[in-house]
Structure 1
Amino acid sequence: MTKFLPLISQLGTRHGSRSFRTCELKCANQCDHAQPNTSGNEHIQSVVRTAFTRRKALKVGAAGAAAAGIATLASNIPATADQQVYGGFPRGNGDFPGFEGGHGKLTHAVVPPNRKDAIVVPRGYEQGVIIAWGDPVEYGAPRFDVNRQSAAAQAQQFGYNNDYTMIVPLRDERKSLLVCNHEYTDEYLMFPTGKYDLATQAKISLAAHGMSVVQIERVGRTGQWRRDKHLSRYNRRITATTKFEVTGPAAADPRVGKVAYGTFGNCAGGVTPWGTILSGEENFNGYFDVSGTVPAEYVDSFKRYGVPTTVTKSARQWSLVDPRWDLSKTPTEAFRAGWIVEVDPYDPKSTPKKRTMLGRMKHEGATITITADGRIAAYLGDDERGEYVYKFVSTGKYDPDNRKNNFGLLDEGTLYVAKFTGDGTADGLFDGTGQWIPLTTDKKSFIDGMSVADVLINVRSAADKVSATRMDRPEDIERNPVTGRIYAAMTNNSDRGGKFAVDEANPLAKSFVREKLDGPLIEKAGNRNGYILELTEEGDDAAKTGFNWTLFLVCGDPTSQETYFGGYDKSKVSPISCPDNVSFDGSGNLWISTDGNVLGSNDGIFTVPVAGPNRGQVKQFLSVPFAAEACGPLISEDDKTVFVAVQHPGETDDATFEKPTSTWPHTDKFPRPAIACVWRRDGGRVGS
């Protein structure tokens, strides 16, 4: 039999701690290609630079700028010799009316940077796997046997590379439904070499993508959860071949249509107040083959999304088993991907939806809040260098007393894109104001020459035309349920300061990396470690179009000048690199997962208070196994459990099924991506 074709010609790491293989399989090496955004719109880095110039004119001076940490952020002015360890940033007061903190003080022990092939947790905590790739999900699923896999079996089993994870309650408080995404597959680690031919691998891979709904149960009164061995009627697998209904204005357009098949490349997501799960289709561009030509009228659109336009074979070659993956044969298939998906976990017979009103992009996720007048707002990040931050506000209001009345809320409303401006004051902070610019409603486009469907299908091009602010890979964007402030993770951008100018909301012309855990810090061009923005909307109302922003964290090694931790003493924080997803505990503390750590250690989950005297004190809570990405995180409603999705353990370029570089969770001789939970031995609240 023909084995899976080799894809990787180099060894090592490509971007951050990601291997060449991870970059190929996860996002088709998007960072190695020319950026799709050629609009020339202002980048967040130039906003910073503008603010610095104004402050200099206000006699902040070179020494003051260096003391404020601006030297490597924007202007590269040499730092003063007596610069303080914490960089000299004024401390943010972090005051919020009515915010007490209470039991939310973060007292957990710090997990040190490491390269262990295990989940490492603080003293006094335990961890355990809930469900792993191949475990049964639907009734009748066969026992997992890596040597006897089939597409039919995988379609009933837990999928590969779990990402976004959410828990929704059942009437029995001891049980819940776990819902998660399966972002992508690694055929090198999934299949014994030469065991399956390419067509069989493709069919199994299609079934390993998508989403899972699984009933779980609490272990006693502890914070531990496990898979319910009695397969529930709610359990469900959604794959890359499942039938979807397409809703919203773009469904009427012949490029999209009212029916689509499958979801894939699913990264982060969100949960609605009515209990449905939202999932973001992200790196969809890397799944298509081109055997000949594509229609000329689609070329510009394809290029704006990184979709191939010339003869090419993707990593998985799904077109071997279905022509819809060949854009020369089915070019409109590319327009049926890149949407927000909505799934009802309580109704396994329901048809999942693709909600076109939320725009087509490389969705990191969609997180929901309720506006002051009872409508729904969703925050959206387009995860690629130089792309934008979006928000959707519904026309209709949320009805807490009639669940079905809410099912169409995401089909009617207004889609906005963000523009950031530096405030230019001499306050010593990287901050400013911003505006949500309307792109379209479900009935009227605000972009000349583009219909409503045009805007939604090619939302990147629409945002280009209103001079939105280009960002550094906008990932998770979530609203703090306690303070009302919004936190947006910008993972990194190695081209910062080169192809992308420096501005106030996208800082860092240079940053430091560490090639080995015990190696020296090495200066590199660009924003390698990422940062987190903090936004406050007018009146804390998500329906408003104005906001203020500040730079909350500039990630990296605390001893490096460019880093900033909310004004907290940098000698008392954990190193953190490449923030990806964020979550909150019941006290409003921020929890951050990382992806692509460039400081020589494994990725992990970190905690940080957003208010009070410890605002900005980043502490590592856990680390994930070798070469894995920390997905999630999710804190249970009672604050007794941390859920973490461990994605691509052991995904290094030299790893094969027979010679893996990780065997986590150590149930087999090969790695199995899995969902795990962490809890306190004494049953107390996590983190505190």
Structure 2
Amino acid sequence: MRQEHQHYHADLQALDDRCLNPSQAADLNSIINRSRRQVLKGGLALAAIGLFGTSLLGCQRSSAPAASPLLGFSGVAAQTAADFDRVLVAEGYRAQPFFSWGDAVLDNAPTWREDASQDWQAQLLQAGDNHDGMHFFPFEQAPNDHGLLVINHEYINPTLHTDGFRYTDLADGRRQRPVDQVRKEQAAHGVSVLEIRRSADGQWQRVAGSRYHRRISAMTPMAISGPLRGDPRMRTASDPTGTRVLGTLNNCSMGVTPWGTYLTCEENFHNYFVNRNAADHATRPTHQRYGIGNGQRSAYYAWESVDERFDATPDDNQPHQGQVNEPHRFGWVVEIDPFDPDSMPIKRTAMGRLSRECAVVSLGEDGRMAIYSGDDARGEYVWKFVPDGRHDPANPANPAASRQLLDSGTLYAARFNEDGSGQWLPLIWGEQGLTPANGFADQQAVLLNARGAADLLGATPMDRPEWVAVHPDSREVYITLTNNRERGERFPLHPANPRPNNQHGQIVRWREANADPAATTFEWDVFLLAGDQPGALDAEGQPLPDNLIGNIRGDIFSSPDGLAFDGAGRLWIQTDSDEEAAHTVNTGCNQLLCADPQSREVRRFLVGPRGAEITGITWTPDYRTLWVNIQHPKLSYPASDGHSRPRSTTLVITHEDGRVIGS
């Protein structure tokens, strides 16, 4: 069971991360080629300093990190043992399992069974699989002791079933799946909403009998809003109006609006669909550019064998050619009101269709907003959406006017220039080649194929853009670029992505002009390059190659992924690396770290169990309680009996004397 799960995650991760970008950003070739030559001649640090100057990059190596007044804990050691199956947290802190796959969400949920024998109806009442982005929404009366915890469930593992995934290979190349397995997998996707409260003894608990408890899944009805509502390209045989869709998929990271709603993001939705007509697939940029399967079966799940929605092969005998448009109905930001359990989630199409990692809001003093996102695949782009209107905080909670801000605005893709400047490139139909001659019939076509539009505009292909975090005071914006082993081959070197075969990733930050979220220009630098320290050795005692050396001031890590600021301006970093790969021999298991943006010191706060990604992060308003997620652990976590079925789990972390986390 555990070996199957381990191989499944590695295969699925490779599929999710594959390159789908046909562009080479030709207008930047002269810059990129010069960068390549400098790296080859003088090493990475010399190339970076030569291109940017020290004032922007600020990433020269130092022999020891400067002591940070922000970081008040002692770092924990990296863990490289093959049987490490627990959580290690900084001294003085306590990390406890709080909410695991299969735990009750609704009051009538049955108790989880260790053999995973429960059916899909039970799963609809319980926590889904693979916890990811999340947020704590406090109640006004007791904001640090009572609130709603909203958690994404990104995808599913074979351990969801007693005997793993079951397939029957058919003679024509298709795969048949059992109906009961597919239904359970659909039920284990989506979002959980929990009302939680801290009891008199300091322990957090789920509130029994709460009207707010809710499970949103791949079966939940959702509204389509914005420019593509009712558009012919959103209509299917099951929804001829193009206004309703069933479910949300691959919910990775998220965002929170100033009016108190939750923005969950649909990431690698392409793995769920197949278009078996190769000739038709070749004519559809929205299938090609987004990686919709082209063969006899979808990549892993084969849901199309049970649920026709996921078979995107055109059928001339069906209205709207059957379900050929169903993939168009995924890849959106979905707005959920956690305080109204009867409300229908809304897919906001004005924000563009991406394999979106997050939707992080930056709010200016004048009410203008930007919502930042990464598109998580090799060579994809950094994005922001700027609503046309302004947020008015004087309005009552959850005003209809505020929600409508997400239905009209401008979507931008980022171009990073060699001198540390940057532009936001607007995706506006009729401008800069976004015309019918280039395959864009209208603005709806631009939003539906935002990736293709950004290709045409010359946005900068990045090394897997993932989570975004905005500094609470300066509004500086940080983004994790997790890794890209094809950098230098499929994608030429670029100053923001300066390493060939980039196995460890980096964090880039930018400053909008005048700190205005709606600005169209910015300045940027590389905050840090992840990886080993200079002089590090591999498992055989040999020096590591230059592309595996970073410039971290403090505790090393690989593949930054999750990212968030706390109220004091500490930058929290979560990782998603393959600890069984040769390049992670020294970084070991995935981690939660904390960085000081000024001194750039990094300290390791927590290490997770073997095989797990550390993801999702949220606090109480006083920052004395922290929640993080342990996703897809390899071994028996959270049990430690050596044989239990591993479970994705939300941890609750506090300090033994009640102090602010990290201080």
Scaled to the shorter chain, the TM-score interval is: 0.7 to 0.9
Distance 2:159 2:565 in 1: 36
2:125 pairs, out of 156, 167, 184, with 156
What is the identity, as a one-letter code, of the residue corresponding to 1:247?
S
Alignment counterpart, residue 596 of structure 2, candidates 588, 609, 612: 609
Structure 1 residue 291, shift from structure 2 partner: 5.0
Q: One-letter code of the match for 1:593?
A: Q
1:618 aligns with 2:596: no
TM-fit CA distance, 1:666: 4.3
Partner of 1:241: 219
Q: Is the 1:565–1:618 Cα contact (8 Å) retained in structure 2? A: no
Contact 1:270 1:277 in 2 (8 A): yes
Counterpart residue type for residue 278 of structure 1? L
Cα deviation 1:638-670 (Å, max 9, x = unaligned): 1212211111011xxxxxxxxxx3342448821
Residue 254 of structure 1 aligns to which amino acid in structure 2?
A: P
- Tell me the equivalent position of 2:77: 112
8 Å CA contact 1:294, 1:331 repeated in 2: no
Kept in 2: contact 1:554–1:563 (CA 8 A) = no
**How many angstroms does 1:375 deviate by?**
2.1
Take 2:431 and 2:483, find their aligned partners in 1: how far apart are those partners?
35
Structure 1 equivalent of residue 107 of structure 2: 139
Amino acid at match of 2:368: R
Correspondence for 2:423 among 419, 435, 455: 435
Verify: 1:332 aligned to 2:325, yes or no.
Answer: yes
Q: Secondary structure at the match of 2:447?
A: helix
Q: Distance in 2 between the 1:43 and 1:498 partners?
A: 17
| Structure-2 separation of matches of 1:357 and 1:283 | 19
For 1:544 and 1:360, locate their aligned partners in 2 and report how far apart those are by CA, in whole Å.
22
Q: CA deviation at 1:142?
A: 2.0
Question: Partner residue of 1:81?
Answer: none
Q: 1:551-562, aligned counterparts within 5 Å?
A: 551-559=526-534
1:36 and 2:20 matched: yes
Task: Rate the CA distance shift 1:66–1:37 in 2: closer, same or farther, 3 A.
Answer: closer
1:371 shift after superposition: 2.6
Identity %, equivalent residues = 35
Give SS of 1:364's match. coil
Aligned length: 601
Aligned equivalents of 1:574 and 1:42: distance in 2? 37
CA deviation after TM superposition for structure 1 residue 624, in Å: 1.1
Q: Which residue number in structure 2 is paired with residue 406 of structure 1?
A: 402
| Residue equivalent to 1:346 | 339
Distance 1:190 1:674, change over 3 A: farther
Contact 1:45 1:505 in 2 (8 A): no
Q: Do the aligned partners of residues 504 and 19 (structure 1) sit closer, same or farther apart at CA in structure 2, a change above 3 Å counting?
A: farther
2:418 paired residue among 418, 422, 445: 422
2:172 alignment partner in structure 1: none
Give SS of 1:626's match. Answer: coil
Other-structure match for 1:469: 460
Of 150, 158, 161, the match for 1:187: 158
Unmatched runs of 5 consecutive residues or more in structure 1: 1-5, 13-17, 75-85, 95-100, 424-431, 510-525, 651-660
| 1:447 matched residue in structure 2 | 434
Does 2:525 match 1:529?
no
Which residue is 1:83 aligned to? none
Q: Secondary structure at the match of 1:618?
A: strand
Q: 1:352 to 1:562 in 2, by over 3 A?
A: same
Q: Deviations over 1:63-111 (max 9, x none)?
A: 9x5483439999xxxxxxxxxxx984599x99xxxxxx9xx62021111
User: How far did residue 124 of structure 1 move?
Assistant: 0.7
351-360 vs 625-634, greater mean Cα deviation: 625-634
Give TM-score scaled by structure 1 length. Answer: 0.81
Contact 1:663 1:672 (C-alpha < 8 Å) held by counterparts: yes
Which residue of the partner structure matches residue 204 of structure 1?
184
Inter-CA distance 195–266: structure 2 relative to 1 (3 Å threshold):
closer
Q: In 1, Cα distance between the equivalents of 2:577 and 2:47?
A: 25
Letter in 2 for 1:108: F
1:376 aligns with 2:351: no
Tell me, yes or no, if the aligned pair for 1:45 and 1:502 is still in contact at 8 Å: no
* Structure 2 partner of 1:672: 647
| SS in structure 1 at match of 2:406 | helix
Q: 1:35-434 residue pairs with structure 2 within 5 A?
A: 35-42=19-26, 47=31, 50=34, 65-66=42-43, 68-70=45-47, 88=60, 105-114=70-79, 115=81, 116-145=84-113, 146-173=115-142, 174-188=145-159, 190-192=161-163, 198-220=178-200, 226-256=204-234, 257-290=242-275, 295=280, 298-328=283-313, 329-400=322-393, 401-402=395-396, 403-404=398-399, 405-423=401-419, 432-434=420-422
Q: 1:541 aligns with which of 516, 533, 537?
A: 516
- Aligned partner letter, 1:177: L
Q: Secondary structure at the match of 1:534?
A: strand
Deviations 1:437-458 (A, max 9, x none): 11038x9997222211001100
2:74 counterpart letter in structure 1: A
Contact 1:340 1:355 in 2 (8 A): yes
**Paired residue secondary structure (1:251):** coil
**Deviation at residue 187 of structure 1 after TM alignment:** 2.1
Listed one character per residue, the Cα deviations across residues 148-171 of structure 1 (whole Å, up to 9, x for unaligned) are 411111111111111001100113
Mapped to 2, the partners of 1:362 and 1:467 lie a distance apart of 19
State the secondary structure of the residue aligned to 1:255: helix
1:247-278: per-residue Cα shift (whole Å, max 9, x none)? 11012311222111100111101111111001
Shift of 1:530: 0.3
Offset at residue 119 of structure 1 (A): 1.2
CA distance in 2, matches of 1:113, 1:43: 42
1:43, 1:537 → 2: CA distance? 23
**Following the alignment from structure 1 to structure 2, what is the Cα–Cα distance between the partners of residues 177 and 46?**
51
Residue 270 of structure 2 aligns to which amino acid in structure 1?
A: N
Closer, same or farther: CA 316–387 of 1 in aligned 2, 3 Å = same
CA drift of 1:299 comes to 3.1
Structure 1 residue 342 displacement after superposition = 0.7
2:569 equivalent to 1:588: yes
State the match for 1:24 in structure 2: 11
Checking the alignment, whether the CA contact within 8 Å between 1:553 and 1:564 is kept in structure 2 is no
Partner AA of 1:352 in structure 2: P
Tell me which residue corresponds to 1:641. Answer: 625
Change in 2 beyond 3 A, CA 1:468/1:227: same
Tell whether the 8 Å contact from 1:42 to 1:469 is kept in structure 2 after alignment: no
Give a deviation string over 1:490-518, Cα, whole Å, max 9, x none.
00001111111111111112xxxxxxxxx
Tell me, yes or no, if the aligned pair for 1:558 and 1:573 is still in contact at 8 Å.
no
What is the SS of the residue equivalent to 2:444?
Answer: helix
For 2:371 and 2:644, the matched residues in 1 are separated by 42
Distance 1:619 1:636 in 2: 22
In the TM superposition, residue 40 of structure 1 has moved relative to its aligned partner by 2.0
CA, structure 1 residues 113+47, in 2 after alignment: closer, same or farther (shift >3 Å)? farther
Structure 1 596/529 Cα, relative in aligned 2: closer, same or farther at 3 Å?
same
- The code of the aligned residue for 1:36 comes to L
Residues of 2 paired with 1:140 and 1:507: CA distance? Answer: 53
Q: Quick check: 2:531–2:550 contact (8 Å CA) kept in 1?
A: no
Runs of 5+ in structure 2 lacking a partner? 52-57, 168-176, 235-241, 314-321, 536-545
Among residues 625, 647, 662, which one is paired with 2:636 in the alignment? 662
Question: What residue number does 1:523 align with?
Answer: none
Distance 1:626 1:671, change over 3 A: same
- Note closer, same or farther for the CA distance 1:311–1:497 as it changes in structure 2 (3 Å cut): same
Q: 1:295 to 1:563 in 2, by over 3 A?
A: closer
1:110/1:619 contact within 8 Å kept: yes
